[in-house]
Amino acid sequence: GGGASDAGAASVSFLAGAAGVAAGAEVFNNYGNKANDELLVAHGFATRSNPHDRVALKLTVGLLESGPRAALGPFYLRRGGAVPARLWRALDDPAAAPNASSSSDSDAPPPEVDLDAVELLLSALTARLAPFDA
């Protein structure tokens, strides 16, 4: 069922089907597997240690030493999750995937990347996550 709410009202009502809900009965709500940004925008709260939380990483890289720059991402990195294979592929060859966010993450293993690419990723993540270090 759906719900109805008035921003100025002190209550929220939900449809509970033909049988209804007995007065005083406990009612549960499942918000689903949502990251904190989604929970905050849609429901007004966030949870500490949310296993579905994520950070969006966007990178700008030079395709040639003095040539054009390409925007890569966003790549969504989840807490405790693997680095997306398409991010590794973009770091391995930025010119081949300047719009990496539009390609799907296949089951193909990520390419071997050099230490410079890993250090770039680590540096970008450290800078992106620094404001959240508590």
Residue 103 is predicted with a pLDDT of 44
| 123 CB-near residues (< 8 Å, 6+ apart) | none
Task: Say if residues 81 and 90 touch (Cβ distance below 8 Å).
Answer: no
Instruction: Kindly provide the residue ranges of all beta strands, DSSP E only, lying in 51-126, ordered along the sequence.
Output: 54-62, 69-78
Handedness of CA 109, 114, 120, 125 (dihedral sign): positive
Residue 80 is predicted with a pLDDT of 74
* Residue 69, both tokens: 């720059």
Between vectors from CA 55 to CA 127 and to CA 103, what angle results, nearest 5°?
110
Residue 121 is predicted with a pLDDT of 79
Instruction: Supply the DSSP string of 11-58, one letter for each residue.
Output: -EEE---TT---TT--------S--HHHHHHHHS---TT-TT-EEEEE
**Predicted confidence pLDDT, tens digits, the chain (134 residues):** 455 555 566 777 777 778 888 888 888 888 889 988 899 999 899 988 888 888 888 877 766 666 777 788 888 888 777 888 888 777 777 766 655 444 455 556 666 777 887 788 788 778 877 776 65
Q: Determine if the pTM surpasses 0.85.
A: no
Residue 4 is predicted with a pLDDT of 53
Residue 110 is predicted with a pLDDT of 62
